[in-house]
Structure formats: C-alpha cells, structure tokens
Structure 1
C-alpha cells in the first residue's frame, strides 16, 4: 500500500530528472504542453460488521460503489477515491434510505477504514484513520478490533515460538494500533479480559513479512433466536 502513496512523488522526481538530462538538447521540450499533475487521491475500505443486519450497499456521493451488496463479515479492501468532502452511506440493497450516513473530508494520501457495527436497530459507523506503514524486515503487523455488541472485554495473544500480546481489556468498539511482530504462523487466543477463560481461538493463522492485517472479533456472544452469527475471529489483510 505504501508504494501507492508515493507514486505521485515518484512521477514528479522522474520527470525532473528527465528534464535535467535533456535540457541542453531540447530545453526540456519547451514547445510541448505541460504534463498534467496527478489527481490527488485517498483510500477507504469498508466492512460489514453488524451481525443481525442484511446485506448492504455502499454509496459514495450517492453512487453505489460495488456491483453486489456486502453480506455480513465482508471486507472490501481499499478503494481509491478523490480527495475533498465525501459522503458515505450504508443502505439496504437497492434502496435509497440509509442505515448510516456520514461525510468525511478526505486528504491526499490518507487511508480510512469504515466499519458498520452494532445491531441493526442501533447500527453505528466506526471510522478509523489508518496508519499505513510497511513493517520492518521480517516483520508483519496486526491490529485488533472488537465488534461483538454483547461480548465482554477481551485480551488477545498470539502463540507461536513465543507468546505475543496484542491487546488487553479491549472493549466493544475499541481498536488497537498496528503492532509489529515476527512473521510466521500463530494460534490467536481471545480470552475474557484479565482471566484465562478462552472465548475463541483462531488456529494456525499465517502472517507474511511486510504485510499488515486486522483481527476482527465479531458476532454475538449470545446469538438471538434464529441468528447463527456466533462469536468468531476473522483475519483479513489490509495491505
């Protein structure tokens, strides 16, 4: 992801070097039209984390972004958007009324994650400005977000060659920073905060060097009748 943020700067540097190299022959093509400046862009990802809500459409400035509605637990990856005041809506499929409606001022190079969370009756939008940074050599990065509306606060550790703690007393709607650790394969254990009570495990999760990931704790600790979205852990790669 980081190389995308630097592309416009690289273009400018490359153009300057070419100009210097050819100035004695062509005056850097003084008679040619100027190259247009790259359009400034920002990046936004979307996640459907409301465990009793139907599939939803995502609209940006009243335009539907994806060809299909997003089912529960879907992560879209980053979408490139123009900068400036931008309206976001989560709506029922093929409908104009919005469950969620917010406007953000996007600036060049910024990255945001938008999580639709909580139950359908109390749906909220969790907006997170992401810190996009390539992990150090041999390292991966992981953050944890607690999206279970009825689960208690949790501690999260990764068990591999050594134990790596990722969060302590993480409550609903809390999200950690990206934490770097040795790349490899781990069992992720989610426990009730301050205890050894294991709520769930994500076994044999693989983390690649140079990549950043999110662990979402989602679903109902006590699903209502007819709902099968029980407490679970989901890992997706951000970049």
Structure 2
C-alpha cells in the first residue's frame, strides 16, 4: 500500500523518479484552508524557483518535484505571476504570465521544459481544486498531465472507472473513485498502455496525482535528472474534516 504524505512531499510511484522533501512556509497551518495557496514544481529541467505574485515574493526556493504551501490573503481574481531561479530576482524570470485564482485553496504548477526540446515550454498554470466532502467510500483525485514527451492519454482504473479521457499536456481532470487498492493504467488514445500504477486512496481523502518525467528518458535535456522515467507523483491535499 502506498503511503501518502502531506505538505511538501511528493510521493513517487514508478521507476526512475527522484523524490525530495519540500519546505512548508511558516505559519501555513495557523490559517484556514480557504486562505492557503500552493506551488508544485513539476518541470523536469527547471532549477529551484522563487514564485512572485503581483511583484511580491510568495514562495522561495521551491525545489524540483516538491510542493510548497503557505498562507496568503489573496482574493479570487487574475494575478500576474512569475517564476524566477531562486535568488535571481524578477529581472531574470523564466516565465511571466497571468493566472486566474479561483475561490478556495489555489495551486500553481510549474510545468514544461525551460529548454523546450519537447515543444512544451516552461509555464505556470493555475489548477482547479475541489476540497469538499466526497461520496461515501470514495476518494477524490485530480490528475495532472505534466510529462513533456507523453502524448494525450486516457486514464481509468482496471475496474473500469474512467478518470480522464483525452488528457493532454498541461491539462487536469477531477474525479471521484472508489477507495481502496486499485491499479490505474495510463494509455495513449490509440489504446497503447504506457504505464500501470498501483494506488490505494483512502475514503474521504482528496489527492492530486501528477504524471511527470519522460516516456523516453534518453530524450531528456542534460539539465534534467538522470533516468527520470515516466512516473506518478501524489500529494494528499485534504483529509476528512479538513475540507
């Protein structure tokens, strides 16, 4: 059974994935969840990042394949966001864009390649969250496609529950699935099985599952970690009573 780890750690399922502990921003647990924002670093070749929102430093030193959480006073709306190599300042931003922050907990994901060898350029995207109570005996899973060289995929459990159809790089879907141990195949839209992952979501819990790494690690840029094969990285976003 997979152990799901909270706040700052992405649990890797599958060969070839480096998993490191992130840093939780001081004071995050002292605020209500509706005031919490998170950044997850899913880019395979970007360095540690500082994240600026409307010119203010919100998150500092977000390491690759980690999640950092902190309390912010942000109201829903459109914000200017930037990702900068740690310590280098806004003038050296890798990307500057606008992100739509929805009501409730918000997540910014750094995805794509700085070198853009795959054609999927480095970017910051806002991910939708649904932290409300789940159906009885179900868990809620948000799946995010962040593997630069993986084609559009369909994802379903081996018991036949469809989680996502036609999921392309940078997209996400949210689905409730029965709790308990299950196998999740990831298939290209022509039906070819690309990977199979064993997961064990708990009833009432909310998770994010990020498809990361490379189908062909040899095609990865030199700046990416060695042998970063296609893997599933999971964070537990909320437990019963925290929604």
Normalising by structure 2, report the TM-score.
0.69
Match of residue 198 from structure 1? 193
Q: Paired residue for 1:42, among 2, 15, 35?
A: 35
* Aligned match of 1:81: 72
Q: Which runs of 5+ in 2 are unaligned?
A: 1-30, 116-120, 239-243
Which of residues 48, 51, 56 is equivalent to 2:49? 56
Q: CA deviation at 1:40?
A: 11
Per the TM alignment, residue 202 of structure 1 is displaced from its structure 2 partner at its CA by: 1.8
**What is the aligned counterpart of 1:93 among 86, 107, 111?**
86
Answer yes or no: is 1:70 the counterpart of 2:62: yes
Q: 1:207 aligns with which of 171, 196, 201?
A: 201
Quote the Cα distance in structure 1 between the aligned partners of 2:87 and 2:229.
27
Bigger Cα Rg: 1
- 1:17 alignment counterpart: none
CA distance in 2, matches of 1:99, 1:180: 35
TM-fit CA distance, 1:104? 5.2
Deviates more, 1:54-63 or 1:164-173: 54-63
Alpha carbon RMSD of aligned pairs, Å?
A: 2.7
Identify which of 164, 185, 200 aligns with 1:167: 164
Secondary structure at the aligned position of 2:132 is classed as coil
Instruction: Give the deviation of 1:110 after TM superposition.
Output: 2.3
User: What is the CA–CA distance in structure 2 between the aligned matches of 1:73 and 1:215, rounded to whole Å?
Assistant: 12
CA contact 2:101–2:126 (8 Å) conserved in 1: no
Query: Which structure has more helix as a fraction of its residues?
Result: 1
1:106–1:144 CA distance, 2 compared to 1 (3 A): closer
* Structure 1, gaps ≥5 residues long: 1-37
CA shift, 1:175, in A, is 1.0
Give per-residue Cα distances to partners, 1:21-55, cap 9 Å, x unaligned. Answer: xxxxxxxxxxxxxxxxx999633221111111112
Matches within 5 A, 1:11-26: none
In structure 2, distance between residues paired with 1:174 and 1:64: 26
C-alpha distance in structure 1 between counterparts of 2:33 and 2:188, whole Å:
44
For 1:129 and 1:123, how far apart are their aligned partners in 2?
19
Q: Using the alignment, how far apart are the partners of 1:106 and 1:143 within structure 2?
A: 17
Q: Is the 8 A contact 1:41 1:82 kept in 2?
A: no
User: How many aligned positions are there?
Assistant: 194
Normalised by the size of structure 1, how large is the TM-score?
0.70
The change in CA–CA distance for 1:41 and 1:136 in structure 2 (over 3 A counts) is closer
Aligned to 1:184: 180
C-alpha spacing 1:190/1:92, structure 2 compared with 1 (3 Å): same
Match of 2:127 in 1: 128
- 1:61 Cα shift? 5.0
2-structure distance, mates of 1:102, 1:133: 29
Contact between 1:56 and 1:70, CA under 8 Å: does it hold in 2?
A: yes
- Call closer, same or farther: CA 1:194–1:104 in 2, change over 3 Å: closer
Q: Which has the higher contact order (CA 8 A, sep 6+)?
A: 2
